[in-house]
């Protein structure tokens, strides 16, 4: 592709992209709703962390781990699918993925799965490590399994909020909830 045809393809791609809506930060009402949800989440987390039950088999933690791995695989497939569709349909130039220059940037909906996938390669690795240590050091209990399910579920909510509608209070709330859950899981693991 010549520089002239690349520039024309870029112009055509930019012309096809809708105007970005002006960003207006979430207001007090949105964050008040988020606060109510986080308080309810705190109650659920406290209940899960203090609930007694029989000591599960080590395989019990595989459910939350499988949910987290499945989520990561699904987001990866979305990322690959959205990117390939956008290039094959001519929405964007394949040159963007060669140089990652802003001039050739795809629409936000194409890149949201990539950013969500990037997020799933960060903090969740600490979840996998905690699950491994819970089994290796024989510290797995009913509460840890519940916390694992809560963690994986909040990561699922985060990915859906990010990819689906990218609403900042929902994303932040799900992210914060997952981080708090992971901290509780690690504190329980380290304090035995």
pLDDT at 31: 74
Determine the Cα–Cα distance for residues 86 and 31; give it in Å rounded to an integer.
34
Nearest to 186 by CA among 118, 149, 121, 139: 139
Q: CB–CB of 159/112 below 8 Å?
A: no
In a domain? residue 149? yes
Task: Decide if 113 is inside a domain.
Answer: yes
pTM over 0.85: no
17 in Cβ contact with 110 (< 8 Å): no
- DSSP helix/strand/coil, 176: helix
* 36-119-112-71 Cα dihedral, nearest 10 degrees: -80
Residue 38 forms part of a structural domain: no
**The predicted structure's pLDDT at residue 38:** 79
Residue 8 lies in a domain: no
- pLDDT of 41 reads 81
Q: Residue 102's pLDDT is what?
A: 64
Number of domains in the chain: 1
The pLDDT of residue 56 is: 85
Per-residue pLDDT tens for 17-40? 444 556 677 777 777 777 777 778
Contact (Cβ atoms closer than 8 angstroms) between residue 161 and residue 167: yes
Using DSSP, state whether 154 is helix, strand or coil: helix
In the block, residue with structure tokens 């690795």? 125
Distance CA 187, CA 179 (A): 12
Nearest to 113 by CA among 149, 71, 168: 71
Domain membership of residue 68 (yes or no) is yes
Task: Let me know if residue 63 belongs to a domain.
Answer: yes
- Domain of 180 in residue numbering reads as 59-191
**What are all long-range contacts of 35-42, with beta carbons under 8 Å and residues at least 24 apart?**
37/173, 38/173, 38/176, 38/177, 41/154, 41/177, 41/180, 42/180
Is residue 99 situated within a structural domain? yes
In which residue ranges of the chain is pLDDT below 70?
Answer: 1-23, 102
Domain membership of residue 5 (yes or no) is no
Instruction: Residue 127: give its domain's CATH number.
Output: 1.20.120.550
């Amino acid at each position: 592709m010549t520089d002239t045809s690349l520039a024309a393809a870029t112009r055509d791609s930019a012309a096809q992209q809708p105007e970005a809506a002006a960003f207006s930060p979430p207001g007090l009402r949105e964050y008040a709703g988020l606060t109510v949800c986080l308080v309810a989440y705190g109650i659920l987390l406290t209940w899960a962390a203090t609930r007694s039950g029989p000591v599960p088999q080590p395989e019990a933690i595989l459910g939350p781990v499988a949910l987290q791995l499945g989520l990561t695989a699904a987001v990866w497939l979305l990322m690959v699918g959205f990117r390939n569709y956008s290039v094959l349909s001519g929405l964007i130039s394949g040159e963007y993925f060669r140089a990652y220059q802003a001039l050739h940037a795809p629409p936000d909906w194409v890149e949201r799965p990539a950013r969500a996938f990037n997020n799933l390669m960060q903090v969740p690795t600490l979840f996998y490590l905690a699950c491994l240590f819970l089994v290796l050091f024989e510290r797995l209990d009913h509460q840890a399994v519940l916390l694992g399910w809560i963690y994986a579920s909040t990561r699922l909510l985060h990915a859906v909020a990010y990819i689906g509608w990218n609403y900042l209070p929902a994303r932040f709330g799900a992210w914060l909830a997952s981080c708090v859950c992971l901290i509780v899981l690690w504190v329980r693991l380290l304090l035995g």
